[in-house]
Structure 1
Amino acid sequence: MKLSTTALLAIAVAVASASPTPEKRANPKGIDVSAYQPNINWSTVKANGISFAYIKATEGTTYTNPDFSSQYTGATNAGLIRGGYHFAHPDSSSGATQAKYFLAHGGGWTSDGITLPGALDIEYNPSGAECYGLSASAMVSWIKDFSNTYHSSTGVYPVIYTTTDWWTTCTGNSAAFASTNPLWIARYASSIGTLPAGWSYTTFWQYADSGPNPGDQDEFNGSMAGLKQLALG
């Protein structure tokens, strides 16, 4: 059967009407990167459908990402919503000290609609005891110290990046942050699985450590409009 031009036009209009607008499109995709991805073509990343990026700014109180400025500027110029993250070392200094270091080296936030709240990357110790030698109660206190210091400076609470396994093991599965801090869960599987105590949903999901775009692969749990609202605080 050969459709008339009028029928084809009607179908095209119907398809266009059914397609969600960018503001309503669900689960915008993102990436998170560090100095391991020094040369990123952000225009290509944007063209590939990426809407946001988290960029490593600091680690402990002795490391700053040498590529942070160029990565952050590149993401900004490409039109991505972006933010910085801090890799925690709870065994080396207080939460407040590390929050201040993060804030001084790229972790700041402003309610401009394009800056995501800074993220605290708290996870497996890459070079020692899994929980950095801290008890569960001491770890919860450390995270509160970091979170409250960040909040007092910016007016927003940091996003907490972690895994359910680490959180259960090293904080005793604390539910103390669920009412204040957005959750960014890492789980490389087809579904998110069980979340840490208190959180009924995750704001971000890191679902793979590699993919078609540089760095780790992420998605936002909501619409593009919701992502922009997060960036507005």
Structure 2
Amino acid sequence: MTHERTGNGRGGALSVPRPARPRRFRRLPVAAAALSVLGALAILVATGVIWPGRIFAAPYEVRGVDVSSYQGGIDWELLAGDDLEFAYIKATEGSSSVDRRFAASWEGARRTDLLVGAYHFLSFESSGEAQARHVIETVPADATLPIAVDVEYYGDYFAHPPSRAEVDAILAPLLEELTAHYGAPPVIYATPAAYDAYIAGAYPDSPIWIRSVVVPPRLSDGRDWTFWQYSHRDRRPGYDGEEPYIDMNVYRGTRAQLTELTG
């Protein structure tokens, strides 16, 4: 081992240098810092402070919310004043269920300048005809947005999804009857998994409303989306329900173009 003389001005004392730390140990503080940053970001995302989809959705000018009874009572004047242009309100599910806040939310939203529509949650357990009758009995025909049909997995269907033929047998007559009654093709809302399984390549007249809360959506069949649900963890003023978050969406186009969807 060699030693290096240090010129310390006090008789040239010798010092023995410490052995160099292996590189793997020098990397540990960097890795720990990176993990801390990632952990902090994960917490901010989980609490809705940061949401990646918001960044990508920022260029779209026409934005809106979708709500259900989980948002509780809504001060629609306050909510509508928070840079919103439209709202979709849950009305029905299956062939018999009505969202308990639908009537109040519908009345309140219609008193604002928002473009307002209702959505129906598709059931895999009752016929399309029965579900269409239920929607028509519940949702007024004077909406300023087309009716929307929410197609996604629920309950045991996540593990045991129905076949495309089974869903087509329900969805096709439902869309046909709703189009005839309301005068415009319904919007189809879908998660990416449900879109790929049941919607891709079909129902060309229906505008597509797709959920993608991290990155901009790209539909597997090359189709353009019309609405994009970019966040399910936003906080907005004006509601007091058990759910602290609210879904945010954008429309691909102008408000004038959005009004034309109703036909």
TM surpasses 0.5: yes
Q: Is residue 80 of structure 2 the alignment partner of residue 40 of structure 1? A: no
Q: What letter is aligned with 1:187? A: S
Q: Which residue of 2 aligns with 1:130?
A: 158
Q: Distance in 2 between matches of 1:34 and 1:79?
A: 19
Q: Distance in 1 between matches of 2:135 and 2:222?
A: 26
Q: Which residue of 2 aligns with 1:166?
A: 194
* 138-147 or 55-64, larger mean C-alpha shift: 138-147
Give the one of 240, 249, 252 matched to 1:218: 249
Q: 1:58 offset after TM fit, Å?
A: 0.6
Q: Which residue of 2 aligns with 1:68?
A: 102
Q: Distance in 1 between matches of 2:246 and 2:163?
A: 32
* 4+ residue segments displaced more than 3 Å: none
Q: 1:174 offset after TM fit, Å?
A: 3.5
Q: What letter is aligned with 1:176? A: A
Give the one of 181, 185, 193 matched to 2:206: 181
Q: Distance in 2 between matches of 1:75 and 1:95?
A: 28
Q: Distance in 1 between matches of 2:111 and 2:181?
A: 26
Q: Which residue of 2 aligns with 1:195?
A: 219
Counterparts in 2 of 1:132 and 1:120: CA distance versus 1, 3 Å: farther
Q: 1:134 offset after TM fit, Å?
A: 2.5
Q: Which structure 2 residues correspond to residues 14-93 of structure 1 after superposition, within 5 A?
A: 26-90=60-124, 92-93=125-126
Q: 1:198 offset after TM fit, Å?
A: 5.8
Q: What letter is aligned with 2:171? A: I
Q: 1:141 offset after TM fit, Å?
A: 2.7
Residue pair 1:124, 1:131 contacting (<8 A) in 2 also: no
User: Percent identity, aligned pairs only?
Assistant: 31
Q: Distance in 1 between matches of 2:82 and 2:189?
A: 24
Counterparts in 2 of 1:165 and 1:184: CA distance versus 1, 3 Å: same
Q: Distance in 2 between matches of 1:79 and 1:132?
A: 42
Q: Distance in 2 between matches of 1:98 and 1:85?
A: 12
Q: 1:131 offset after TM fit, Å?
A: 8.0
* Structure 2: gaps (5+ residues): 1-58, 237-244
Deviations 1:155-184 (A, max 9, x none): 21110000222222x32x54121x210100
Q: 1:132 offset after TM fit, Å?
A: 6.5
Q: Distance in 1 between matches of 2:118 and 2:86?
A: 11
Q: Which residue of 2 aligns with 1:117?
A: 146
Counterparts in 2 of 1:131 and 1:220: CA distance versus 1, 3 Å: farther
RMSD value, Cα: 2.0
TM-score (normalised: structure 2): 0.70
Q: As a proportion of its length, which structure holds more helix?
A: 2
* Structure 1: gaps (5+ residues): 1-24
Q: What letter is aligned with 1:61? A: S
Q: What letter is aligned with 1:209? A: H
Q: Which residue of 2 aligns with 1:157?
A: 185
3-state DSSP of counterpart to 2:193: helix
Q: 1:146 offset after TM fit, Å?
A: 0.9
Q: 1:69 offset after TM fit, Å?
A: 1.2
User: How many residue pairs end up in the alignment?
Assistant: 197
Q: Distance in 2 between matches of 1:133 and 1:225?
A: 38
Deviations 1:3-50 (A, max 9, x none): xxxxxxxxxxxxxxxxxxxxxx95311000000012111111122111
Q: Distance in 2 between matches of 1:198 and 1:98?
A: 30
Q: Distance in 2 between matches of 1:228 and 1:174?
A: 25
